[in-house]
Every structure is written in C-alpha cells, then in structure tokens.
Amino acid sequence: GGGGEPAIQILADVNIGVAIALPEDKGGGLVVATIRNADGIGLRKIAAQARELAGKARGKGLSPHEMSDATFTISNLGMFGVSHFTAIINPPEAAVLAVGAAMPRAVVREGRVVPGLVMTMTMSSDHRIVDGAMAAAYLNSVRDMLEKPATLLV
C-alpha cells in the first residue's frame, strides 16, 4: 500500500539480540547487543561473540551498530535467581525469549519422581508476525535441543 500505512518487512537475516545487565557504576539497566547472522555461525562462535559483546558493554560500551538490527532477543535473568519472568518486545523485533534460572524440582522420569532441574522460558511475540502455534512449535524445538545438547554441536 501507500499512504504511510504500517507494514511488516520480512528480513532474511537472523540477528539475535542478547540482553546485557550493566553494572551500577555504568548506570545499571540493560542494553541489547546484536549477534549478526546467528543462524550461520555455530554455537561456539555465538557464545564467543556474546561474551565479547557483554565485556564490551560493561566496559567501554557498545557502538550503535552493535546494538541495532536484532530480529529476536534473548533475556536471561537466571543468574539473579529469577525463575520466571515476562520480557517485553523491542519493536520492530518479532519476539523476545525470557529465560529463568534452572531450579531444583521434583520431576517424573520413567514413571518415577526424581530430583531434577527445571528451567522456565517465556516467549512474547508480535502476533502480526508470529502466531501462537508457530511460537509453541519454536519453544518445543528449543526444549528438545536443550534436553539433548549434543544436537546443538552438530
């Protein structure tokens, strides 16, 4: 259409935003650093880039380029002992995944109650882009991969 109507732009890039907590001496709060083309670089490189960006954010700071163009953000508050939270989407991103701490819980394995760790993830998505069924399928895939981490290294 025309006339300045809102539109959804489909992007080919998978740029993952990683929420980073800043120390109090840097003013506190959160910034979101971007790992570009995350779908093509592998888990080890993603982890290395996330560590590098977090160090830079907490030190001299991130450039505007390092904080732009994310299409999906991951926010983890587990290190603060938070087991569950809901994150808010940063437009124009499609969704944000809130990851809580892995907490000890009673779980059922092979019909028996045994000790285990349970981690809660909550996804908020823009339903103009991602419907509930698509979000559920995505979360199912994430759960499957986390339960069998060797599949992430293939």
Residues annotated catalytic, as ranges: 127
- How far from chain centre, in Å, is Cα 93? 12
Q: Identify the sign of the CA torsion 71, 148, 54, 84.
A: positive
* Structure tokens that stand for 90 in this block: 């940063």
Whether 100 and 82 have beta carbons less than 8 Å apart is answered as yes
Q: Which residues contact 36 (CB under 8 A, 6 or more apart)?
A: 13, 15, 69
- Give yes or no for a cis peptide into 64 (omega within 30° of 0): no
Whether 134 and 110 have beta carbons less than 8 Å apart is answered as no
Q: Which residues contact 90 (CB under 8 A, 6 or more apart)?
A: 17, 32, 70, 73, 96
